[in-house]
Amino acid sequence: MGDDGVGVSIINPAEVRSEFETTDGTTFEEHFEEGEASEPEEVAEAIVFAATREGSSVSEIDVNRRNKFADSF
């Protein structure tokens, strides 16, 4: 928190099944099957969590699919 009592939290979502377009013109929702990427609601929940942590030391949240760092790639 700064001198003015303002805190900043960063939310870093990886792939999100949304209406934003990929480089090939399809949407991320079309490009990823359910479960392959985060849903917009999951990112929204992370934002709500960060916004409601008054005086917290949480400053950054990474939102990744559970298998993003698995050895099976």
Torsional class of 5: left (φ above 0), alpha (ψ -120 to 50), beta (otherwise): left
73 residues of the chain, pLDDT tens digit each: 567 777 788 999 989 999 999 899 999 999 998 888 899 999 999 999 988 887 777 788 999 876 666 665 4
Structural domain boundaries in the chain: 10-63
Q: What's the CA gap between 45 and 61, in Å, rounded?
A: 11
Angstrom distance (rounded) from CA 14 to CA 12: 7
- Backbone angles phi and psi of 21, in degrees to 5: -90, 145
Distance CA 61, CA 35 (A): 20
What do you get for the CA distance between the two ends of the chain, in Å? 40
